[in-house]
Amino acid sequence: MTSGSETPSTAKWLHKKFLETVLRKGDNTPTLKVTSYDVKPAVGKGDNYTSDLYRVKIHTADGKVFNLIVKKELAAEGELGKVLQKSSAFLRETHMYRSAAVRLANILQEMSPGECSQFAARYLYSCPGTIVMQDLRAEGFKMAERRQGLDFSHCLLVMRMLARFHAASVVLHDRDLETMSLYDKNFFSDPEMKEGLQKFVSGTFRTVVKAVQTWPGFADRYAGKLDALADSMLDRIIQVSQRDDTALNVLIHGDLWVNNILFRYSDGPVDVRFVDFQLLHFTSPAIDLQYFFSTSPCEDVRENHLDSLMKEYHNTLCECLNAMGYSHKHITLEDLWKEYNNKALYGLFGACCVLPIVLADKGFDIDAILKSGIGEEIEVVNGDTYKKALQRMLPKFEEDGVFRSGESLSTDEVQNA
């Protein structure tokens, strides 16, 4: 599967008049005239799946240069496009850039006046199915190499920014329930897209099962347990990600993997931004943590530095909440670990359904899985890198009890999820 359904040559709607509208409204300069512009794909094959992304460089009559990213919702041509068109994903992201992100940045600025409060690209313009924002690459940000995994210094920056983002969302939720109400519902529970998601999750699980069946020492121990979860996994991840209103909840990113994180460098990573806010959900912070740690760090970090990173996240979260004068629900490091371990099923979802996409050196054919709902032959799950990663993670998932929930969910449990 490619990074989208359109190419710059077929995106006829991306013309001079549209770009002038963007600049006049987004940059608040009503007389700007575009003299020339260049449109290129913003990412390579296999680096984006949920939209068409264009990098646009604009020259105006008064000598200004603008670097933009234009994000277009996938057309309902392929199977994934059909699923996403039925969902609230693009609406969530549009609302985030247009409204919530500004409010969250203002809260962070209140906490630390003069310090950088940005965690996302600056919003410029949106219309149905399209979002335009600043091009972070022009500001020096870029993706890390996804197949290598993030080292400790990268992960440390992510933990600090994630904790700041989470802390600001707690305060915004207290101040303005209406702004946050769109994120009360889990993306995965949208009934209109349940069938497509079910095919993706169960199909990917069965692909992994086929690989595990060939691993000595793991086939007998785990293949059957993974296979038993395939059909019920979607209902279970919906259930495990439900909000507990007695606990500390945050606005989770929901899709925090290496390609949705951009870094700026100076003798190593020094700053970070998040992108792709289509799966936002107000729930446990442990969901973001499980998803990130199961998909994005290198093996050394996952094996040896998880404790340090969790401490950094917790310290930053508490410091930010205290600095904002938040005096309601807090969470101890011990309770954060308990919550993290209780959400291990979400980590298993990341390891089986997302990590293969992270490690694939070519595009990952999601459409084929969505069409069939069965395990397709996917080269990456048979590779040594994925094999070593999952073999190290499976015993920990087992220790956390993810396979003890292998019995069928009751009808009431599924309906309440």
Q: What is the pLDDT of residues 338-368, one digit of tens each?
A: 999 999 999 999 999 999 888 887 655 565 6
Q: Would the pLDDT of 369 be above 70?
A: no
Query: How far, CA to CA in Å, does 142 sit from each of 5, 180, 267, 414?
Result: 23, 29, 14, 40
Q: Would the pLDDT of 411 be above 70?
A: no
Residue with tokens 């870094």, as numbered in its chain: 263
Q: Would the pLDDT of 217 be above 70?
A: yes
> What SS3 class is residue 27?
coil
Helix 306-323 crosses helix 285-295 at what angle (to 10 degrees)? Answer: 150
Confidence of residue 179 (pLDDT cuts 50, 70, 90): confident
Q: What is the pLDDT of residue 89?
A: 80
What global pTM score does this model have? Answer: 0.90
Lowest mean pLDDT among 2-6, 225-229, 273-277, 346-350: 2-6
Please give the mean pLDDT across all residues of the chain: 86
Confidence of residue 112 (pLDDT cuts 50, 70, 90): confident
How many CB atoms within 10 Å of residue 28? Answer: 9
Confidence of residue 125 (pLDDT cuts 50, 70, 90): very high
Confidence of residue 405 (pLDDT cuts 50, 70, 90): low
In DSSP terms, 54 is beta-bridged to 41, 70
Cβ 27 vs Cβ 122: under 8 Å:
no
Backbone dihedral angles phi then psi of residue 319, each to the nearest 5 degrees: -60, -40
- Per-residue pLDDT, averaged over 205-219, amounts to 94
Cβ 28 vs Cβ 74: under 8 Å:
no
Compute the half-sphere exposure of residue 341: CA atoms within 13 Å on the CB side of its CA.
12
Confidence of residue 205 (pLDDT cuts 50, 70, 90): very high
Q: Would the pLDDT of 3 be above 70?
A: no
Confidence of residue 52 (pLDDT cuts 50, 70, 90): confident
Q: What is the pLDDT of residue 284?
A: 97
b/e sequence 176-206, b meaning 16+ C-beta within 10 Å: eeebbebbeebbbbbeebbebbbbbbbbbbb
Cβ 358 vs Cβ 298: under 8 Å:
no
| Protein fold of 145-416 | Aminoglycoside 3'-phosphotransferase; Chain: A, domain 2 (3.90.1200)
The tokens describing 175, both together, are: 């101040």
Residue with tokens 């335009």, as numbered in its chain: 132
| CA–CA distance, 22 with 54 (Å, rounded to integer) | 14
Q: What is the pLDDT of residue 1?
A: 27
pLDDT tens-place string over residues 370-381: 555 555 556 788
Residue with tokens 């197949």, as numbered in its chain: 147
Confidence of residue 282 (pLDDT cuts 50, 70, 90): very high
| CA–CA distance, 332 with 314 (Å, rounded to integer) | 8
User: SS3 string of 203-215?
Assistant: HHHHHHHHHHCCC
Q: What is the pLDDT of residue 251?
A: 97
**DSSP class of residue 398?**
H
User: By percentage, how much of the chain surpasses pLDDT 70?
Assistant: 84
**DSSP class of residue 185?**
S
The residue among 336, 333, 293, 286 whose CA lies nearest residue 152 is 293
What value, to the nearest 5°, has the Cα angle with vertex 359 and ends 6 and 282? 75
The tokens describing 381, both together, are: 């799950």
The tokens describing 398, both together, are: 């087992």
